[in-house]
Structure 1
Amino acid sequence: MKKFKIEVCEKIELNHTYVVELPDDIDDENVWNKIDKSIFGKDDVYYILDDFGGNIIEFIEGGSGDVQLEVTDVEEV
């Protein structure tokens, strides 16, 4: 039999729900696009909305959604 040491990265998707308000003169698509491109998670949403003059009215912490497993390294031992 062959023996291997493998490294597996587990990526968990968390889904949160926000109720937000934005000023009338803001193009909401710009806000959503900036949130889509953020890399720091849910804390980024607060800062992005603040930059556009918006507010979070309600935040509902979500549970985990999809889980992805990816083998990132394989070494025969």
Structure 2
Amino acid sequence: MLADRRMLAVYTTEMDVDECLIGLVARFDRQAMGLDLVGTSGLMRNEQETFRWADIVRLDFGGRYEEALELSVRHHP
């Protein structure tokens, strides 16, 4: 359910230092986590990306940008 998920910005070893993917947590387990991706317009992209924990270098959440996107997604499912 959308109301139970948090918006995350994920930075990996494969990305430039200022590049990230943003989405709602879809799943996670011991090896990886999956995000339902959100575009910069605040609309869901109908894409899911899986990230291995070993490849993640940074996770951001609760910032103004993530919160604004989260509100937009909740109002435009």
Give the structure-2-normalised TM-score. Answer: 0.30
Greater Rg over alpha carbons, structure: 1
Give the structure-1-normalised TM-score. Answer: 0.30
Work out which structure has the larger RCO, using CA pairs closer than 8 Å and 6 or more positions apart in sequence: 1
